[in-house]
Amino acid sequence: MLLRFSLRSQAPGSSSTGAVQVWVGARPGPWRWLWRLLLVSAGLGGGLLLLGLSFRLGLRLMLDPEVLPQVLAQWQRSPPLTLDPAASLDDLRRQAEAAQQRLGEPLTLGDGFVLIPVLEAETETVVSLALFQGQGGEGELKAIATLAIDPLPKDTVLAPFRNSSQTPTAVPSTFPLSQVVPLSSPPGASEGTWLTLEGTWQQQGLTLRYGHLLHVDLQTLELTLLEPWSSPANRPPQWADLDGDGPTDLIIDETVGLEPALRGWQVVAGARPRLQPVSWLRVPVDAGAKAVTYQQALRLARGGLWPQAQAHLADLKPALAQGWNPAAEAQLRLMERHAAITQRQAEQDWSTPAQYILALLIDGRWEAALAQLEKSPSLVPAVIGRLGADRGQMWNRISAAAALPDPPPAVYVWGGMAIKAQQNQPNNLAGASQDWLDRQPVPALARQRLATVLTALTTHQGQTVASAKQSAGGGADAIASPANNLETNQPLGAIALAPAEAFIGQGTSIASPPAGYAAPGQSLDAELGQWYAVELRAVRQNQGWQRGSLAMPPGANPAAAWSVVQPAAQATPQILRWVSPITGVTAPLTVRGLRLANGTPTLLATGPAVMPSSPPPLVFSQGALMWLDASQGQGPDVGAIAAAATAIFGGTPPPDWATTLATQHSLDLTGDGQAERVLTWNQAALDQLKNWRVQVETTAPKTIILGQDNRVLYSDMFAAQTLVALTSPETGWPVGLLVYRSGGYDLLSWLAAAQRFE
């Protein structure tokens, strides 16, 4: 269960007064010398601080000349307007003008309340919101509440472009909000008034609309900023019915190009409304033996195979009828919306044949797309170019389709084309490699079709080079390379290791990146944000998790090491800071390079600053881990109660001890098709066990895992460790247990021979 959190800090002010008496002829006392020393130290410290700030600003100006207007704007930003408890609208306008601000258009919210935005006069950006009681005319307005508004950071607004080759350039560091807009169709079932603070930014035909959702509760008289949003499709938030409980959910269109991307939020009612994101990582129901199948549906969604993901989850819904809940329904309906978009694109008329082929691929119509390409071999270079610009979306789709039972043979052809397209590409985010193709059961006919397509590409390249040489007065020699050569151009000192598909690591914040290797297209500039050194604790290769880091051979250079870790390092890694032993908050990281020491790589990444926590920040590839939701657990069965009593008490337990059992989850952890039972104890339950003189660790939640025969497969009840997450299930593969102990994370694997996790 992941929760968002915020941290506020305030530095207290200080003041001091003192009196000095001078005695003629007397020797200066020690306090006088101390006072002088303090004055000199303060002067030197202030000078050094000013010098440091000047140097830092100078460095930022050298790296980004556009930073000066931004810095000056921050220094010149007027403080929030201090409003009188009661005043007329004209009085408020005069107050705003005196503070170099102005009042925006008042918004009548009903029941005699008015919301007035306060704007910076020079920039026309919203700096605060003020809620008044009154009619907003010539009468008196009573100030109720105010809310300061800050611009949105660049990383938040550009989040939809994270895996896109169409990322805008020359963007500002912050995006101001310029207007307050009521949401078009507020749901009748939702209390309060919903609005959004909006802004737009344009560049070369792109109109990026962004904003911050705002809720006004006229019962409690509160203004609450909820979630920021960004839409490259230039669409405002829309109300929708995702969970089957009426149009009380929100959808943000984050689509870039032809790849549909809809973010969904369920509105959770409460003292203050909360937005629960629709996640493609978490199974929101107790799926039991169907948990692996449910994870497959979510993996298809993460890979962008929306029709297949929808079909998988729709088939599961009747089987999970008793446990099906609004969160699961929201996942299914959001999949349906994505699938409808890809289907519409695949069936519409396209003026550009290459775009039509791309639309077919996005809808998962592998054979139809390949048939179109084979009919028009001249399109091969254009399609290869599109695949070469891929930042991981198409490759994720290909690999997800190849992992399905009995995939269409055309999938492997497109996989081979993607590998060829990724050669010599500096981003290579898909992590395609010849090794992947060699591990697939590619039919002979599919290999022949791939060779034919690549022959068309080689022929076109040869003709292009020949034409260029003839134009320059040279010969007409063609490129001579075998058509079926799929060997990736490896960096000097290539490493014969399978590429890392995913990783789990431990993050440590560092002041600035040490000397290391910067990935192609990246830099290790200290000004890029908060830096982290990520120590790898587990790596998935060839669909299996390996404990510990990657062991590079002696003499390996960092560029070759990067080619191994790159697929996982650039597949949207996340950093999680623990707010409590069972809750945390995640944020995206950008891996920019690595440091190689004694054959062990340490990733160097930037992301949002996080406060120190225990356990330390956890870094993981998106989709690599899953968490059990306490709200979806069940009461323990009789066999589990008896087995847990024996494991904890040894002898006869107290009569009412079973009440300490918090939850039981049932899912297949060992890959044998049988559901194991995961029993967890929360803090209150552990305190009760402590009262019964059970020598149990109470610093973190505790877990016991039982097999079908009630044998204990894992227990941290009496160990100085805690189970923090599970690896995402893969068909036929056991799940790994991620534990925290001795200051670090460790991955425990299932040992079938020993019948335990270790």
Cα 540 from Cα 729, distance rounded (Å): 12
Looking at the fold, whether 392 and 329 belong to one and the same domain comes out as no
In a domain? residue 208: yes
Looking at the fold, whether 99 and 242 belong to one and the same domain comes out as yes
**How high does pLDDT run on average in the chain?**
78
β-partners of residue 253 are 262
Domain with 301 in it: 291-347
Q: Enumerate residues 6+ apart whose C-beta is below 8 A from 501.
A: 431, 540, 541, 542, 543, 567, 568, 621
**What are 420-445's pLDDT values in tens digits?**
887 755 444 434 456 677 788 989 99
- Decide which of 139 and 228 is more confident: 228
pLDDT grade for 684, boundaries at 50, 70 and 90: confident
In a domain? residue 15: no
Q: Enumerate residues 6+ apart whose C-beta is below 8 A from 721.
A: 739, 740, 741, 742
- How many percent of the chain have pLDDT more than 70? 78
- Of 467, 493, 515, the domain-final residue: 467
In a domain? residue 236: yes
Q: pTM (2 decimals)?
A: 0.61
- Decide which of 482 and 262 is more confident: 262
In a domain? residue 474: no
Looking at the fold, whether 151 and 227 belong to one and the same domain comes out as yes
| Per-residue confidence (pLDDT) for residue 475, from 0 to 100 | 36
In this prediction, residues 485-493 reach a mean pLDDT of 36
Looking at the fold, whether 547 and 598 belong to one and the same domain comes out as yes
Looking at the fold, whether 387 and 518 belong to one and the same domain comes out as no
- Of 585, 602, 623, the domain-final residue: 623
In a domain? residue 707: yes
**What are 615-662's pLDDT values in tens digits?**
889 999 887 888 876 666 677 777 887 888 788 877 777 777 766 666
| Per-residue confidence (pLDDT) for residue 63, from 0 to 100 | 36
Looking at the fold, whether 301 and 421 belong to one and the same domain comes out as no
pLDDT at 370 over 60: yes
Query: Which long-range CB contacts under 8 A does 166-174 form with residues at least 24 apart?
Result: 166/256, 166/257, 168/203, 168/204, 168/206, 168/208, 169/203, 170/66, 170/203, 171/201, 171/203, 172/66, 172/70, 172/201, 173/67, 173/70, 174/70
Q: How many CB atoms lie under 10 A from the CB of residue 455? A: 15
Looking at the fold, whether 574 and 611 belong to one and the same domain comes out as yes
Closest CA to 166 of 256, 255, 233: 256
Looking at the fold, whether 323 and 455 belong to one and the same domain comes out as no
Q: Which of 259-263, 353-357, 483-487 has the lowest mean pLDDT?
A: 483-487
Q: What's the number of domains the chain is made of?
A: 5
pLDDT at 257 over 90: no
| Per-residue confidence (pLDDT) for residue 14, from 0 to 100 | 35
- Tell me whether strands 573-578 and 618-621 are parallel, antiparallel or unpaired: antiparallel
In a domain? residue 669: yes
In this prediction, residues 178-207 reach a mean pLDDT of 81
In a domain? residue 128: yes
pLDDT at 3 over 70: no
Looking at the fold, whether 634 and 604 belong to one and the same domain comes out as no
Looking at the fold, whether 110 and 187 belong to one and the same domain comes out as yes
Q: How many CB atoms lie under 10 A from the CB of residue 664? A: 20
pLDDT grade for 729, boundaries at 50, 70 and 90: confident
In a domain? residue 66: no
The tokens 């203004």 sit on which residue? 223
- Of 578, 605, 623, the domain-final residue: 623
Q: Which of 474-488, 516-530, 551-565, 693-707 has the lowest mean pLDDT?
A: 474-488
Looking at the fold, whether 124 and 242 belong to one and the same domain comes out as yes
* CATH number of the domain to which 575 belongs: 2.40.30
**What are 515-551's pLDDT values in tens digits?**
889 888 788 888 888 899 999 999 987 657 888 888 7
Cα 582 from Cα 574, distance rounded (Å): 17
Looking at the fold, whether 331 and 388 belong to one and the same domain comes out as no
